[in-house]
């Protein structure tokens, strides 16, 4: 109920006629409005959003003012509302432009957006408090708001033609008809999960075929890694279903989603699930995967996962292509002067069955043991760490405060690492490419034999269940008895070194494209 209370309190304070009390209550009401999101969502559903509540609170100052000053403050309040509305409209118009990259569309030129100015809300809030003591304090604030209105209004008028979504779709179709893409990398997820598409950008760009990236969330366009590939965001169902792509022969899907059906409708191309990393986690053998024509995995282990899971994916639909993304990883010692450990946990997953995250139950203890041993520790959390569990989020914040974060591509962090500590995830198979030792956490406390039966990719690493970190560290810094086992497991998880994974990927694309053409 705090958003409702934040609207009512300034009026009650204004009725007392005490300017000091009003100023304090108005400031407090702005803070209260941030509490109780449930009531806030209810009010927004009734059309009383944050902007409307802000205006209601500010209007309470009118009760303290004589008529002329009150009219000035009223003009300030609604001038601010108009300015914010025009800003929102201009952003909406230019959002169409931000939905493409490297796509030269025909038609009218796109105007530059108005110069970004500060929000008027601090100005209006200060005036709302100031008028309690000086009735004409709203005059300079009103002048500021009026000066800000002119460029934003002009920006909206110049960009109004961008609001024609039908014309935008026509221009996109014209471009697609001239570009004639043969391969589509399709990703429907949001910005937090866009790393799943990012890992395929360079690989797809290396093809000798015209390729296109299709996204479904406008926020993902900004979060997508730099690429020279054309990028389209088809946000609406009508846009995705209406775009004609008769030249496409191969559609690549890094993630499973119901929105994939909007491209799966195309009958004239091969649909391939490429995933976002091979691991023993459930996404690597999801029953949804059987809707695709082919499923591309790294090595024999990927094929075996689907056989064991028996989720309806035909063995002949599975193609082993290696991991093109890790082709450039250098094998052998890191060359570090100081022994360095990379702690790269996964996140909690959407369900308890998929939760392999060690950050909450084990992460702090493992890190303390490593730091006590005098080694350097790099922290590379999953982008979604802490999304589902408050306990994991709290532990994650603590680790961020204590450790050096490994930014940049994960494979670059591998190059600076002598030992990997991770959870059950695709990080294991990728790290095996460099040939160095790794340790896998066991947050559920399974017996070693049961753990390895469930997660074969961990069988060439040390098992950490809260104890034994120091012992594992001493062993890998010594004779490294698991080195040969890691070489064997690398071939099983990633496949042979020759032909190269990129060559195998290209060959697989050519094969399914030729089949689609016949």
State yes or no: pLDDT of 44 exceeds 80. Answer: no
Closest CA to 92 of 154, 144, 160: 160
pLDDT of residue 5: 66
Query: What tokens does 21 get?
Result: 């009390």
Between strands 100-101 and 183-187, the pairing is unpaired
Q: For the sheet containing 419-422, what is the strand order?
A: 404-405, 376-379, 340-344, 419-422, 438-441, 462-464
State yes or no: pLDDT of 51 exceeds 70. Answer: no
pLDDT of residue 125: 66
Query: What tokens does 377 get?
Result: 């520790």
Closest CA to 272 of 13, 517, 509, 431: 509
Between strands 270-273 and 250-253, the pairing is parallel
**Sign of the C-alpha dihedral computed for residues 486, 492, 496 and 501 taken in this order:** negative
Q: By percentage, how much of the chain surpasses pLDDT 70?
A: 86
Tell me which residue has tokens 């022969």.
249
CATH topology of domain 340-494: Rossmann fold (3.40.50)
Determine the Cα–Cα distance for residues 432 and 421; give it in Å rounded to an integer: 12
Instruction: Give the three-state DSSP class for 511.
Output: helix
- Residue 78, CA distances (Å) to 53, 85, 129, 152 in order: 13, 10, 17, 15
Determine the Cα–Cα distance for residues 287 and 244; give it in Å rounded to an integer: 29
Q: In the CATH hierarchy, which top-level class contains the domain 167-326?
A: alpha beta
End-to-end C-alpha distance for the chain, whole angstroms: 64
pLDDT of residue 472: 74
Q: Kindly report, residue by residue over 280-329, the tens digit of the pLDDT.
A: 877 788 889 999 999 999 999 999 999 998 999 999 999 999 999 888 78
Residue 10 — pLDDT band, cuts 50, 70, 90? confident
Q: What is the DSSP letter of 187?
A: E
Determine the Cα–Cα distance for residues 209 and 492; give it in Å rounded to an integer: 30
Q: What's the mean pLDDT when you consider all of the chain?
A: 85
* Upstream peptide bond of 449 is cis (omega within 30 degrees of 0): no
Contact 480, 437 (CB under 8 A): yes
Q: CB atoms < 10 A from the CB of 4, how many?
A: 17
Determine the Cα–Cα distance for residues 16 and 13; give it in Å rounded to an integer: 5
Identical fold at 167-326 and 340-494? yes
pLDDT of residue 130: 64
Contact 249, 125 (CB under 8 A): no
Strand partners, 420: 342, 438
Task: Specify burial of residue 303 (Cβ count, 10 A radius: 0-12, 13-18, 19+).
Answer: middle
Contact 262, 237 (CB under 8 A): yes
So where are the chain's domains? 2-159, 167-326, 340-494
State yes or no: pLDDT of 69 exceeds 90. Answer: no
Q: 413-451 in b/e burial notation, b at 16+ Cβ within 10 A?
A: bbeebbbbbbbbbbbbbbbbbbebbbbbbbbeeeeeeeb
Q: Kindly report, residue by residue over 145-177, the tens digit of the pLDDT.
A: 888 888 888 888 888 878 888 888 899 999 999
Between strands 231-233 and 100-101, the pairing is antiparallel
Q: Kindly report, residue by residue over 364-409, the tens digit of the pLDDT.
A: 999 998 999 899 999 999 988 988 889 999 999 999 999 999 888 8
Determine the Cα–Cα distance for residues 183 and 213; give it in Å rounded to an integer: 9
Q: Kindly report, residue by residue over 202-222, the tens digit of the pLDDT.
A: 999 999 999 999 999 999 999
Element (H, E) at 233: strand 231-233
């Amino acid at each position: 109920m705090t958003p409702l209370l934040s609207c009512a309190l300034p009026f009650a304070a204004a009725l007392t006629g005490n300017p000091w009390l009003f100023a304090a209550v108005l400031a407090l009401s702005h803070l209260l409005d941030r509490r109780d999101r449930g009531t806030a969502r209810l009010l927004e559903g009734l059309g009383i959003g944050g902007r409307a509540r802000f205006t209601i609170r500010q209007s309470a100052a009118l009760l303290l003012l004589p008529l002329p000053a009150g009219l000035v403050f009223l003009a300030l309040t609604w001038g601010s509302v108009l300015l914010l509305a025009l800003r929102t409209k201009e952003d909406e118009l230019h959002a169409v432009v931000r939905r493409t990259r490297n796509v030269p569309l025909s038609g009218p030129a796109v105007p530059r957006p108005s110069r970004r100015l500060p929000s008027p809300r601090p100005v209006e809030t200060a005036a709302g408090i100031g008028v309690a003591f000086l009735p004409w304090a709203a005059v300079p604030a009103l002048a500021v708001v009026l000066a800000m209105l002119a460029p934003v209004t002009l920006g909206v008028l110049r960009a109004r033609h961008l609001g024609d979504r039908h014309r935008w779709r026509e221009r996109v179709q014209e471009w697609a008809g001239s570009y004639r893409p043969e391969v589509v990398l399709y990703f429907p997820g949001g910005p937090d999960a866009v790393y799943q598409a990012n890992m395929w950008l360079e690989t797809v760009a290396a093809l000798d075929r015209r390729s296109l990236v299709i996204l479904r969330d406008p926020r993902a366009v900004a979060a997508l890694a730099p690429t020279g590939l054309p990028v389209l965001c088809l946000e609406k169902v009508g846009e995705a279903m209406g775009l004609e792509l008769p030249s496409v022969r191969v559609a690549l899907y890094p993630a499973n989603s119901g929105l994939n059906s909007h491209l799966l409708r195309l009958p004239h191309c091969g649909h391939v699930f490429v995933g976002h990393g091979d691991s023993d986690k459930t996404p690597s053998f999801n029953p949804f995967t059987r809707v695709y024509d082919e499923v591309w995995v790294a090595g024999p282990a990927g094929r075996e996962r689907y056989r064991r899971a028996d989720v309806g994916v035909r063995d002949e639909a599975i193609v082993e292509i290696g991991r093109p993304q890790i082709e450039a990883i250098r094998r052998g010692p890191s060359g570090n002067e100081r022994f360095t450990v990379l702690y790269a946990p996964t996140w909690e997953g959407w369900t308890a069955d998929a939760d392999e995250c060690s950050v909450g139950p084990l992460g702090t203890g493992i890190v303390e043991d490593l730091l006590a041993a005098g080694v350097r520790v790099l922290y590379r959390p999953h982008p979604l760490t802490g999304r589902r569990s408050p306990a994991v989020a709290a532990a994650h914040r603590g680790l961020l405060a204590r450790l050096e974060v490994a930014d940049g591509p994960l494979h670059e962090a591998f190059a600076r690492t002598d030992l990997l500590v991770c959870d059950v995830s695709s990080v294991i198979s990728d790290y095996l490419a460099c040939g160095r030792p790794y340790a896998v956490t066991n947050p559920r406390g399974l017996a070693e034999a049961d753990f390895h039966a469930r997660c074969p990719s961990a069988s060439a690493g040390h098992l950490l269940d809260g104890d034994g970190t120091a012992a594992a560290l001493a062993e890998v810094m010594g004779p490294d008895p698991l080195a040969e086992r890691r070489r064997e497991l690398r071939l099983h998880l990633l496949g042979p070194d020759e032909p190269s994974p990129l060559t195998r990927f290209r060959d697989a694309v050519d094969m399914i494209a030729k089949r689609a053409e016949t």
